[in-house]
Amino acid sequence: MGAGGSNKVYAVCMSLRLAGQWVWDSWFVKDQDTYHAFYLQASRALGDPNRRHRNVSVGHAISKDLVKWTVITDALAISDSPAFDSYTTWTGSVVRNDDGKWFMFYTGTSREDGGDIQSIGAATSEDLITWTKVSNEALVRADERWYAKLDKSQWHDEAFRDPWVFKFAPTDDTWHMLVTARGKGGPGFNSGVMGHATSTDLLNWTLREPLSKVGAGFGETEVFQYEIVDGVPIILFCCSHRWISDERKSRDTGGVYSLVVNSDLTDIDISRSVCFEVPDLYASRLVQGPDGGWNLIGFWNEPNGEFVGELSDPIAVTADPIRGLVRR
């Protein structure tokens, strides 16, 4: 079940703009003075960018400054059937456990169910280069006690993806996972919630009730991230204009959203989220630069009505206790 290979250099590029591949969702980790970007990629030879979601692998690039990137060996590809990720490997996050081992949590879909049911698995690495999947079985799946299961009369898939894993403090025993999910019984474009699971060893997870409620104006709340930005606890996520409610469309156009929250993630009201001021940026991540300042990096989606598929340069940001994420 291994994936990856030697630290071979394939290309050097400013920002992450690849001639042969579309690039979209990304996640980042820093090891000493080197940033590692992991990202979804698909060949531009597919022609139609809508085909990228089912023809995807996880690419890998490294940088010293978040601007000039060196593309190296891909990180992950699909597993042979039967497996929870025999169809696709989608968005995730990377953390390091107390023993120094790296864990990548990522989304999988399976050919066995037609790719409509999303679940979460993991791979491990000693060096961030070569990754070994921990199991052909998912570690976390949606539970019908709290989360919407597949019902195509209500929604096009079983959303349970984009795991963001973290601890509130380095000395804590508990890891938390935030998940893109839909609440049970939630009405269409108001059904998006923040899924939640916990673990003490990164392998055995307990699914919890969502940390937010349905009715917030989002059909899906994608690519969650929790950070304390310049002293302000922030939740970051995104939602396309296609999946926001009519009521939200009267206030904003979809895209990247932020929300000031309690530092323990209690009493979250996603409806208060504020749309970030950069249109057409999507699936953004908060990353601290070499100077310690916070930056936003996402992919350019459809600025002129056509999919671009490349990552942005870092956008300097900070957090306002009222407005959430703002330019720095």
Q: pLDDT tens, 30-77? A: 999 999 999 999 999 999 999 999 999 999 999 999 999 999 999 999
CA distance 266 to 135: 32
Domain boundaries of the chain, sorted by first residue: 2-327
What per-residue confidence (pLDDT) applies to 15? 77
Cis peptide bond prior to 82, omega within 30° of 0: yes
CA distance 290 to 66: 8
Q: What is the mean pLDDT of the chain?
A: 94
CA distance 248 to 253: 8
CA distance 224 to 178: 6
**Domain with residues 2-327, CATH architecture:** 5 Propeller (2.115)
Per residue in 257-272, pLDDT tens? 999 999 999 999 999 9
Task: Determine the 3-state secondary structure of 249 from DSSP.
Answer: helix
CA distance 93 to 95: 7
Average pLDDT over residues 222-231: 98
Q: CB within 8 A of 201, min separation 6: which ones?
A: none
CA distance 170 to 180: 24
The whole-angstrom distance between residue 80's C-alpha and the CA centroid of its chain comes to 24
**Which pTM was predicted?**
0.94
Q: Is the pLDDT of residue 114 over 60?
A: yes
CA distance 118 to 90: 9
What per-residue confidence (pLDDT) applies to 8? 60
Q: What is the 3-state secondary structure (H, E, C) of 101-155?
A: CEEEEEEEECHHHCCCEEEEEEEEECCCCCEEECCCCCCECCCCCCECCCCCCCC
CA distance 172 to 77: 32
CA distance 116 to 96: 30
Confidence of residue 278 (pLDDT cuts 50, 70, 90): very high
